[in-house]
Amino acid sequence: MSVKERDPLTGHQTTGHEWNGITELNTRVPRAVWFFIIVTHIWALVYWVLMPAWPLVNTYTRGLLGIDQQEQVEERVAAADAARGVWADRIAALPLDRIRDDTLLMTHIDQTAPALFGDNCAACHGSRAEGGPGYPSLVDDAWLWGGDDETILETLRVGINAPHPDTRYAEMLAFGRDGMLDRDQIRVVADYVQSLAGLDSGASPERLEEGAMLFADNCSSCHGEDGAGMYDLGAPNLTDSHWIYGGTDQALFETIYGGRQGWMPAWENRLTEAQRKMLAIYITSLADGGPE
C-alpha cells in the first residue's frame, strides 16, 4: 500500500503501514489545535515584549509596560504598614486599660494578636497557651512574676534569664548536685512539698514534720514560709495544683536534686511596643477565660 493511497472509509491518506489488516491513517491535526497553538505563541511573544520575561547576566528584560511585581508587592506592604501604623501608634501610646475600653482598637487586636502569639509564643507555651513540661501555662491564675498589666509587659520586654541588661533572673538551686541535701533529705522535702499542694504522698506525720524543718531551712527564703511563692523572685507557688516541671515523686526529686533555670526571650528588640501590648492584652484575656 502506497503512502498516497486513501482509506476508502474516511478519505484520509495512509502512511503505508499495516498491522494484521489494520491500516495506519495519516490523519491531519485538527484546525482547532493549530488555532490554539498559534494563539499561544502569539500571546507568548506579546508577553515577552510587554512584560518582564527574559533573564540577562545582571538583570532581566523590563518589558515595554515597565511592570515590576516586586515593586508592586513592596508598595502594597508599605501601604498596609501605613494603615496599620495609625492604630498601632495609638496602642503604643495608651495604657492597657484604656486600650481595652476602645472597641475599634480591640477589634484590631482580636484580629492580630492570635497570629502574633502563634508566631512568637506558641512554640513554647503551646498553641492554646496551656504550657507543658518546663513551660508555664498562661490560661491559669498561677504567675511567677505577677499577672498585672505592667508586670506582664515588663516580662515580655526583658525576658527571664535572657541576655537583656534588665532581664529578670530566677534559678532553682541544685540542692542534691551541689551537696546541700542528700538523696533521703530530698525525698523528705518532696513529700512535704506534695502535702503543701494537697497531694497525699503517704508520708507519716513525723516525716512531714522533718520535711517542714528542711523546707524552712532551705526553701522558705524563696518560696515563703507557707510555700506560696514570691513574685519578686519569680519563685512559684507550691500550694496550688499548677506545676511547671511536674508534681510527681520523680519530677520533684529531679527538680530539687538538679535545680531548674527557666528561660524566656527578651522581646524588646524583636517586637514593637504596640505588639507587646497586644500580646499582653491577649495573654490576660486567655487567663480570664479567652477573648470575648
* Chain segment 184-201, per-residue pLDDT in tens: 999 999 999 999 999 988
- Tell me the mean pLDDT in the region 61-89: 87
Contact 236, 144 (CB under 8 A): yes
User: Which residues, listed in sequence order, are joined to residue 55 by a DSSP beta bridge?
Assistant: 60
Please indicate, yes or no, whether residues 77 and 57 belong to a single structural domain of this protein.
no
Residues 47 and 94 in one domain: no
- Ranges 7-16, 67-76, 184-193: which has the least confidence: 7-16
Check the annotation: does 222 bind a ligand: yes
Domain assignment present for 265? no
Residue 72: what pLDDT?
87
Position 214 in a domain: yes
| 164 annotated as a binding-site residue | no
The response to whether 264 counts as a known ligand-binding position is yes
Whether residues 83 and 145 share a domain: the answer is yes
Q: Residue 242, annotated ligand binder?
A: no
How much is the pLDDT for 2? 55
Is residue 1 situated within a structural domain?
no
Phi and psi at residue 132, in whole multiples of 5°? 180, -175
Determine the average pLDDT of the residues in 219-228.
Answer: 96
The backbone torsions φ and ψ at residue 92, rounded to the nearest 5 degrees and listed phi first, read -65, -30
Section 54-83 average pLDDT: 87
Is 108 marked as binding a ligand?
no
DSSP β-bridge partners for residue 172 = 260
CA angle, residues 239, 244, 246, in degrees to nearest 5 = 80
Please state the rounded mean pLDDT for residues 57-70. 86
Average pLDDT of span 10-27: 82
Question: Is residue 178 included in any domain, yes or no?
Answer: no
pLDDT at 27: 82
230 is in an annotated binding site: no
Contact (Cβ atoms closer than 8 angstroms) between residue 214 and residue 192: yes
Over the stretch 141-168, which tens digit does the pLDDT of each residue have?
899 999 999 999 999 999 999 999 999 9
Task: Indicate if the pLDDT at residue 42 is higher than 80.
Answer: yes
Please count the other Cβ atoms lying within 10 Å of the Cβ belonging to residue 239.
17
Per-residue cell: 215: 523546707
Integer Cα distance of 53 and 71 in angstroms: 16
Q: How many CB atoms lie within 10 A of CB 147?
A: 17
Residue 172 contacts residue 259 (beta carbons within 8 Å): yes
CATH number, residue 218: 1.10.760.10
Query: Whole-number mean pLDDT of the chain?
Result: 91
State the burial class of residue 143 (Cβ atoms within 10 Å of its Cβ: 0-12, 13-18, 19+). Answer: buried
Q: Let me know if residue 22 belongs to a domain.
A: yes
What residue numbers bound the domain in which 221 lies? 183-258
172 is in an annotated binding site: yes
Based on the fold, state whether residues 116 and 192 are members of the same structural domain. Answer: no
Q: Are 198 and 241 in contact (CB under 8 A)?
A: yes
Q: Is the pLDDT of residue 175 over 60?
A: yes
The angle, 0 to 180 degrees and rounded to 10, between the axes of the packed helices 149-158 and 273-287 is 130
As a whole number of angstroms, the longest Cα–Cα distance in the chain is 113
Number of compact structural domains in the chain: 3
Do 248 and 204 lie in a common domain? yes
Residue 210 lies in a domain: yes
**Cα separation, 42 vs 70, whole angstroms:** 26
C-alpha–C-alpha distance, residues 276 and 281, integer Å: 9
Residue 18 has a pLDDT of: 81
Which residues make beta-bridge pairs with 264?
160
Whether the pLDDT of residue 119 is over 90: the answer is yes
Q: Could you please report the per-residue DSSP string of 221-275?
A: HHH-TTS--BGGGTBPPSSSS--SS--SHHHHHHHHHH-B---B---TTTS-HHH
Residue 124, marked binder: yes
Are residues 230 and 198 both part of a single domain? Answer: yes
